Homo-oligomer: A and B are copies of this chain.
Amino acid sequence: MKKVIWSALSAAEQQAVLLRPAMAASESITDTVAHIIEQVTTEGDAALKKLSAQFDKVELNDIRLSSQAMKEACDSIPAPLKTALREAFRNIRSFHAAQVSRPLSVETQPGVVCEMHSRAIEAVGLYIPGGSAPLPSTVLMLGVPSEIAGCKRRVLVSPPPIAPEIVFAASLCGIDEIYQVGGAQAVAALAFGTESVPKVDKIFGPGNSFVTEAKRQVSQAIGGASIDMPAGPSEVMVIADARANADFIAADLLSQAEHGPDSQVVVVTPSDKLADEVNQALTRQVAKLSRADIAEKALENSIAIVCQDMAEAVVISNIYGPEHLIVQTKNPRQYLNDIQHAGSVFLGDWTPESVGDYASGTNHVLPTYGYVRTYSSLSLMDFCKRFTVQELSADGLSGLAPVVTAIADAEGLDAHANAVHVRTQALEGSK
């Protein structure tokens, strides 16, 4: 891990230190994905089977997982893991259920009532990555809020063969519609539908660069689907005071680093000594990891920034805008009001990132790559949409009429004024 002294850097060097690696989809990925989407929209299920054989080396008979296969998968899960997933489910459910918004109603002036109502998004697609390790936690992060929202149709897709842990987590969330298809072809199927896979309104979940690019493309296509948020490599920033535990910090950095070689890992502290201790702890800990290769690769781009004081650490954190921000200081809550840009914040020595990844109750689908400046942590709201309602009484309209007609006149929109006039004339006529 490279160490820099913040105050010794020029403004340009400071900017460079916090710069994320470029992340434009290569032209070859863009084209490959466009071609996959075209195949799926024209050939449907046949394309899904062909592409699964090509990319996942799996010959699919049934794209949808049968209820028998689901039952067998669930039965195969060891009891302790079932218990753990149930407890994680319960915490995630408890935090997301508290996000239910009540309808809003305001009488803005006599007889003029304005309201806001929420509705579940009707059909949602939940993408769960496959690969080296199954991610049942991601199933919970998408399955729980979609259940609470009341989405009528929830369609889970994941590359074949689907791990039993994923099926069990889905069953906890009441999801019974699972398709064994992954990659850009799964995203295309969700966005446009095939004979087997239903078209959905919005697609959620993380994936590799093909999945990310496919989500981007279908979100831009007329008749495609909305998506949860733009994606980028995962990140953690730890800000820590001199009394922080170097072993804890190193462990947190590594839990991010093991996700992938492109993971971004940064520690910011006013203590030069702590920065060195973290470096030593990293060396000790990384050797013992089963994914040491991946973590070591990520650590090559990682950085320790030594700053003046904790106030400056918060400033640096706000410039960077990390997906995960861990605050290991004596009174971590004192900095909360100053934290402007982060995906999820972990306060204090006893709150490692992994609790939020799995089981504290917060959602682990978070904006990354600086998108925290405008995007939010995934929440119940992302599975709903809101619309306004207004209802005026006859008196309410009479009271508001002069305002509406004056502005309509200023905007030169006669018919807008006339929609009020025909009504006020009718009211006068009926008097």
Contact = CB atoms under 8 A, between A and B. Distances in A.
Contacts of A394: 349-350
Given A390-B362, A410-B165, A350 B415 contact: no
A124 to B, nearest CB: 9
Nearest to A223: B370
Given A251-B418, A373-B122, A374-B226, A361 B106 contact: yes
A418 B333 CA distance: 25
Nearest to A357: B416
A385 B375 contact: yes
Interface in A170-185: none
Given A116-B377, A350-B396, A387-B376, A408 B290 contact: no
Contacts of A358: 403-404, 407-408, 416
A400 B360 contact: yes
Interface stretch (A2-10, A43-51, A53-61, A78-86): A78-86
Contacts of A248: 419, 422-423, 426
A261 interface: no
A241 interface: no
Contacts of A206: none
Most B C-beta atoms less than 10 A away, residue of A135, A254, A361, A372: A361
Nearest to A124: B374
Give chain A's interface residue range (CB within 8 Å of chain B): 35 or more
A166 to B, nearest CB: 10
Contacts of A387: 342-345, 372, 376-377
Kindly report how many copies of this chain are found in the complex they form together: 2
Contact of A390 (B94, B133, B346, B349): B346
A117 B367 CA distance: 15
A276 to B, nearest CB: 18
Most B C-beta atoms less than 10 A away, residue of A99, A393, A415, A422: A415
Interface in A48-99: 80-81, 83-85, 87-88, 90-91, 94-95, 98-99
A29 interface: no
A316 interface: no
Interface of A: 22-24, 80-81, 83-85, 87-88, 90-91, 94-95, 98-99, 104, 106, 108-109, 112, 114, 116-117, 119, 121-122, 132-137, 165, 201-202, 216, 220, 222, 225-226, 245, 247-248, 251-252, 254-255, 257-259, 285, 288-291, 295, 332-333, 336, 340-363, 367, 371-377, 379, 381, 385-394, 396-397, 400, 402-404, 406-408, 410-423, 426
5 contacts: A133-B411, A248-B419, A354-B404, A355-B404, A358-B404
Q: 5 tightest A-B contacts by CB?
A: A84-B406, A352-B419, A108-B361, A133-B412, A347-B391
